[in-house]
Amino acid sequence: MRVDLGAAALEVEDHGEGVPVILLHGFPLSSAIWTPVRTAVEQVARLVTPDLRGFGASAKPAAGYAIADLADDVVRLADALKLDRFVLGGHSMGGYVALEVAAAHPERLAGLVLIDTRAEADAPEGRRRRDAGIARIVAGDAAGFLDEFVAGLVGPSSATRAPRVVAELRAIAAEAAPDALAGCLAGMRDRPDRRDLLAAVNVPALVVVGQEDSLTPPASSRALASALPRATLVEIPSAGHTPSMERPIPTAEAILGFLRAHYPAPPAALRPRAPR
């Protein structure tokens, strides 16, 4: 369905019953990365998966790609769906957005799911890589940038065992607007360090990481989980940076286990589903 937020209209999948769970995709992808785990998660939750602005089938404005802008979209989406509190999850860049929501609107979170992401800001070398990507996209080579970037998303096991995953990721990434690609690279480059926030995130949290992730290595996720007061860490074997695509069954099991442990029935404090 289409949800008009004013600044941007988002394409959103909203299905299932139970605790509201909003899952945010990473860069440069779309909500399609949740397709392999969607049916399982919808058994126990109301699963909301938007295409962030500029990606997938959502509107593609020329500007508004700072992490804070994307976080504002998420809160406006929750308001439009009449969700007072919800479990918020994010993959990679989506995790940066989730942490921004946690910083700006902690009262809205009933839980946090962080998949192959980190709390620390980019190091100087990371910022230089973002700048190089922006320059390449602005010069008209978005396709070449995506081709190389997507190849690094999967782990070596997936590249050998399931090369179709790379093809699927390329097709998803091809839907992204060049403005969104360049804008989000700048937004990620400029995002603040959120490590000081973590100790105050007093809701159940799940940290998931692919054991073969070279972009967000498992050591980073272990540190993230250790810093969150109520976190569970799950490492997915034979997966790189996109475990929901590479190893959907263990990824779904991790999310299901977390939701069943902490939200066996919709908490009374959460607003029930509004008629649609």
Question: 49 phi and psi, to 5 degrees?
Answer: -130, 100
- The mean pLDDT of 62-81, rounded to a whole number, is 98
Could you read off the pLDDT of 96-116 as tens digits, one per residue? Answer: 999 999 999 999 999 999 999
Question: Is residue 263 very low, low, confident or very high in pLDDT (cuts 50, 70, 90)?
Answer: very high
Tell me the C-alpha to C-alpha distance, in Å, between residue 24 and each of 140, 143, 170, 268. Answer: 27, 23, 18, 24
**If we measure between CA atoms, which residue out of 205, 171, 232 comes closest to residue 95?**
205
Could you read off the pLDDT of 190-204 as tens digits, one per residue? Answer: 999 999 999 999 999
pLDDT above 50: residue 269: no
pLDDT above 90: residue 270: no
- pTM higher than 0.85, yes or no? yes
Which pLDDT value is given to residue 273?
45
pLDDT above 90: residue 266: no
DSSP string, 136-184: HHHTT-HHHHHHHHHHTTS-HHHHHH-HHHHHHHHHHHTTS-HHHHHHH
Could you read off the pLDDT of 206-233 as tens digits, one per residue? Answer: 999 999 999 999 999 999 999 999 999 9
- The mean pLDDT of 20-27, rounded to a whole number, is 99
Q: Domains in the chain, please, with CATH?
A: 2-262 (3.40.50.1820)
Amino acid found at 99: L
Structure tokens at 61: 């404005």
- The mean pLDDT of 23-33, rounded to a whole number, is 99
3-class secondary-structure state, position 55: coil
pLDDT above 90: residue 72: yes
